[in-house]
């Protein structure tokens, strides 16, 4: 049994579901382990799920802390937020360790370093699987500083120390206390394990297109970046009649949705800004996750949720918060991106799309207005942006990231 340790939001789980789907094609038994709230979501894709035995709502974690973690818009705020999240890790480490037992191999998200140390204790291989490039390189800034700092050798070095340090900070203390309590001592090689994945028996896998961030030439040969990991949606998805009628009633609309970011109380006014910006641009639009804002017209269709992989093939541009998964889906669809970053690595994807010429200049959500959003919508339809977005989309779709990375895991087990 291969066990994949996951945490985060639905978007964080999707690349790992894609990897699990490909492992199943190789006839491997695989399961994903994480909070119980994602069990039905993962099971929907016919992937086994082992929920960790913990009630998130019973932990009495300050909701302001969770909001701060999701709203950190500069590296210092990110460090403070990750530091506060250590309390959460203390409750989950023991359960994640249990999930590793009776496995033949552990694949772990970089925020769950218990996967590395549990595998070592159990005498089985571990594979680091990251939804973004995270290993040290001289070639570009890490996703926590890209677009915010000048890319110099020193800044590049600092940015990866910062990224890896934050991820290690989230679990370091809980792993340490767990091993002391359960085994009487901490592991011999106790430290951030990310750069330990530098040998054939301990590879690292990265979900990222080489046409978005090219695989650095100074990475070791056992870091595998072969493209994005996209979930294979079930063929039984059928849009409702109202959506079909809207899509067929005029020119292709733009999509606007900010995922869980729009659920935060401090962003309650976003729906009205979006509706008024759409009207000012004169475009048709599908909006998602805003409920039913005032001022909806026949040119605006509101949804609560829908698979991006389906919808993005039916729209002319995408406007979103810049989550790694949503950005990947938009880039792959070959249509222009308008990214309004809120926090964390969202700024990196926003600035990268602009640097590649496949998206407009990012607008920090703190500066979002009806005027600048309507201007960005119109700017996205510049012929050069449309052409570059299509070209990169074609290249991204030529990659088979999840399939190739699954083969790396299969080869490791067979050896």
| 194 and 311 housed in the same domain | no
Give yes or no for a contact between 11 and 113, defined as CB atoms under 8 angstroms apart. Answer: no
Nearest to 333 by CA among 359, 363, 312: 312
Average of per-residue pLDDT across 135-147: 94
Average pLDDT over residues 40-46: 92
Q: Do 33 and 169 belong to one domain? A: yes
Vertex 176: Cα angle to 157 and 169 (nearest 5): 30
Residues 245 and 118 grouped into a single domain = no
Shared domain for 158 and 286, answered yes or no, is no
The CATH number for 337's domain is 3.40.50.2000
Does 287 share its domain with 310?
Answer: yes
Residues 285 and 379 placed together within one structural domain of the fold? yes
Question: Is residue 360 in a domain?
Answer: yes
In angstroms, what CA-CA distances link 81 with 1, 39, 75, 169? 34, 26, 10, 10
Give the pLDDT of residue 54: 64
Average pLDDT over residues 349-363: 97
Please check whether residue 399 is in contact with residue 227, taking contact to mean a CB–CB distance below 8 angstroms.
Answer: yes
Per-residue pLDDT reduced to its tens digit, 300-338: 999 988 888 889 999 999 999 998 889 999 999 999 999
Condensed to tens digits (0 to 9), the pLDDT of residues 358-390 reads 999 999 999 999 999 999 999 999 999 999 999
Please count the other Cβ atoms lying within 10 Å of the Cβ belonging to residue 123.
Answer: 6
Q: Is residue 197 part of a domain?
A: yes
Same-domain status, 70 and 145: yes
Cα 44 to Cα 67: distance, rounded to the nearest angstrom: 28
Contact assessment for residue 309 and residue 316, using Cβ atoms and an 8 Å cutoff: no
Please report which confidence band the pLDDT of residue 398 belongs to, taking 50, 70 and 90 as the band edges: very high
Residue 24 CB: number of other CB atoms within 10 A? 17
pLDDT of residue 285: 96
Expressed as residue numbers, the domain containing 324 is 241-397
* Confidence at residue 76, expressed as pLDDT on a 0 to 100 scale: 58
Closest by alpha carbon to 301, among 250, 372, 335?
250
117 part of a folded domain: yes
pLDDT, mean over the chain: 89
The pLDDT tens digits for 158-190 are 999 999 998 998 888 899 989 999 999 999 889
369 and 407 belong to one structural domain: no
Q: How confident is the model at residue 125 (pLDDT cuts 50, 70, 90)?
A: very high
- pLDDT reading at 149 higher than 60: yes
For residue 121, being part of any structural domain is answered with yes
Q: How many domains does the chain have?
A: 2
Q: What is the pLDDT of residue 189?
A: 87
Q: Are residues 175 and 53 in the same domain?
A: yes
Cα dist from 266 to 225, 231, 270, 391, whole Å: 37, 32, 9, 37
Q: Is residue 233 part of a domain?
A: no
Mean pLDDT of 272-277: 94
* pLDDT at 62 exceeding the cut of 80: no
Same domain, 218 and 326: no
């Amino acid at each position: 049994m291969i066990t994949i340790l996951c945490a985060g939001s639905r978007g964080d789980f999707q690349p790992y579901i894609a990897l699990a789907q490909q492992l199943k094609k190789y006839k491997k038994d695989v399961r994903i382990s994480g909070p119980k709230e994602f069990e039905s979501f993962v099971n929907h894709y016919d992937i086994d799920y082992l929920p960790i035995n913990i009630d998130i709502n019973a932990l009495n974690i300050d909701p302001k802390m969770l909001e701060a973690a999701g709203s950190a818009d500069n590296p210092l705020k990110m460090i403070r937020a990750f530091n506060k999240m250590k309390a959460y890790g203390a409750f989950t480490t023991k359960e994640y360790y249990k999930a590793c037992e009776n496995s033949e191999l552990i694949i772990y998200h970089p925020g769950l370093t218990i996967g590395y140390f549990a595998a070592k204790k159990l005498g089985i291989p571990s594979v680091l699987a990251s939804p973004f490039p995270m290993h040290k390189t001289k070639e570009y800034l890490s996703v926590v500083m890209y677009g915010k700092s000048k890319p110099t050798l020193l800044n590049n070095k600092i940015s990866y120390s910062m990224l890896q340090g934050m991820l290690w900070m989230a679990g370091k203390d809980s792993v340490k206390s767990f091993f002391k309590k359960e085994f009487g001592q901490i592991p011999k090689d106790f430290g951030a394990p990310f750069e330990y994945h530098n040998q054939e028996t301990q590879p690292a896998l990265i979900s990222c297109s080489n046409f978005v961030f090219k695989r650095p030439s100074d990475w070791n040969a056992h870091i595998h970046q072969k493209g994005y990991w996209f979930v294979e949606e079930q063929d039984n998805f059928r849009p409702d009649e109202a959506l079909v009628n809207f899509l067929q009633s005029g020119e292709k609309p733009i999509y606007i949705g900010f995922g869980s970011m729009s659920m935060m109380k401090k962003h309650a006014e976003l729906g009205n800004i979006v509706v008024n910006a759409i009207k000012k641009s004169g475009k048709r639009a599908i909006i998602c996750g805003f409920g039913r804002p005032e001022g909806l017209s026949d040119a605006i269709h509101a949804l609560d949720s829908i698979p991006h992989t389906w919808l993005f093939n039916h729209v002319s541009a995408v406007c979103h918060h810049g989550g790694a998964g949503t950005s990947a889906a938009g880039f792959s669809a070959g249509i222009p991106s308008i990214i309004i970053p809120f926090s964390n690595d969202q700024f990196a994807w926003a600035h990268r799309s602009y640097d590649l010429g496949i998206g407009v200049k990012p607008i920090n959500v703190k500066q979002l207005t009806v005027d600048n959003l309507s201007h960005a919508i119109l700017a996205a339809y510049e012929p050069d942006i449309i052409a570059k977005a299509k070209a990169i989309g074609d290249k991204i779709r030529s990659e088979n990231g999840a399939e190739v990375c699954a083969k790396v895991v299969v080869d490791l087990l067979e050896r």
